[in-house]
Structure formats: C-alpha cells, structure tokens
Amino acid sequence: MKPVRIIIAEDHVVVREGLCLLLGSQADIQVVAACADGGEAVSLVRQHGPDVAILDISMPRIDGLQATSLIREASSHTQVLILTMHEEDAYFFRSLEAGAAGYVVKKSASSELLAAVRAVARGEAYFPPRFTRRLLDDYLEMARDGGKAGPPGYNDLTEREKEIMLLLVHGRTNQEIAEQLVISASTVQTHRAHILQKLNLETTIDLVRYAIRYGIIEA
C-alpha cells in the first residue's frame, strides 16, 4: 500500500521540524517537502502533487486560507488540512469556504493530527466535535427557515446598517467607516450595536461568520 504523501507549510521552524519528525515516523505517511509560507506551498503542490497539504493559517506572503484556494485550483487530488492555533468559528468557516477538507487546532493531541491526515487522505472530512456541532446547528437553522427565508434578521436592517455591516465584515474600523461615510465614529458604533442586536450576535467576529455562512460575502 502506498504511503500518504504530504507537504507541510508552517512558518515556525521548531513547529515545522516537529511535524516532519512526527509524521515522518509513521510507516504509512511520507513527508515529501516542507516550507515556511503559503506561496511556496502552492509551488510544492504543483511540483509534487501530494495527497495532503498541511497548512498553517498565519503565514507570510500568502496565508493558509489563500493558499488553500490556490491549491484546490492547482490540484484537485490534493486535500488540504488546516493546522492552526485559531479556535474561532470565523476561521473554521473561512477554511471550509476556501476548500479545506480538515481542521485541527494545534493544542490537539498528536493522535488527532494523525487521524486527520489519514481521514482527509481517504477523501473524508475531519473536524473537531465542536465544529461538527456548529455545522449541524447551521444546517438545522437553515432547515427550520425552509432554506428560503434568507439570513435571519438581515431584512430588518436599514440600508445604512447593511452598508456599515459590509464595511465591518471587510475589516474596516469604526474610524475608517466614519471617514468613508462622512459620519462620526460614535454614530458608526451606534449602528454597529443596532446591527448586532437585530441579528442576535455579540461580536464583529460573529458578524463575519454570519456573513460568510449566509453568502452575504465570500470568505
């Protein structure tokens, strides 16, 4: 049986070397290359055509999410496994949108990483239980809405609130939005509070996840 061929993209040298040692010690896994940024990871995928690419999210030049999209375009055979310190839902959903087949948090046990590598190599998805639960909750919420009602609460927003929401989820600060719309920063903050209240959300990260989940923006 052929070993699972993988590449690793991780910008921290100690972590990258540790991953190479761990994965390379497995009889059914072969580390064919390792690098420190997403751009080089894409090049290595094109060169080696591995079964799995393990990517960190936070990397120089091209981050793991951008690299995931490019890898999926370059090689439909290669499955992407995100290995990251980020536990926020927003990063998880953005990884799915980019085309990742698996998501593992760095504080997980090494056995979970190995299980994830083998799962995605078989063409399966691998997500920690809390994220699997989140996907199920989203599905059930959409099913209750009949799949036709649109994003819950969105139609309750005013046109100005929708405008400010889009700027917020694209990473603009209150001051930047205020300058662009020629209003005060305190007015932006008031609109933000109303948006979150109407959508039953708590933070801007929740707002980003909402916008991605319901297709208001692309990841």
- Per-chain mean pLDDT for the chain: 86
Question: Given this model, what pLDDT does residue 141 score?
Answer: 58
- Cβ pair 6, 114 in contact under 8 A: no
pLDDT band of 6, cuts 50, 70, 90: very high
Contacts of 71 (CB under 8 A, 6+ apart): 41, 42, 45, 53, 55, 78, 80, 99
Q: Which residue has the higher pLDDT, 86 or 97?
A: 86
Give the mean model confidence (pLDDT) for residues 44-63: 94
The structure tokens listed for 145 are 């809405």
134 CB contacts (<8 Å, ≥6 apart)?
89, 92
- 201: which 2 tokens? 């959300």
Q: What is the pLDDT of residue 219?
A: 45
Judged against a pLDDT cut of 50, whether residue 102 lies above it is answered with yes
pLDDT surpasses 80 at 56: yes
Residue 44's contacts (CB-CB under 8 Å, 6 or more residues apart) are 7, 9, 32, 33, 35, 50, 53
Cα three-residue angle 201-164-207, rounded to 5 degrees: 25
pLDDT at 153 over 90: no
pLDDT of residue 135: 62
Q: What region, left, alpha or beta, does residue 54 occupy, with left being phi > 0 and alpha being psi -120 to 50 degrees?
A: beta
* Sign of the alpha-carbon torsion through 38, 108, 19, 50: negative
pLDDT per position as a tens digit, 134-151: 665 665 555 555 554 557
Q: Which domains does the chain have, with CATH numbers?
A: 4-129 (3.40.50.2300), 144-213 (1.10.10.10)
Answer for the pair 29, 4: CB distance below 8 angstroms, yes or no: yes
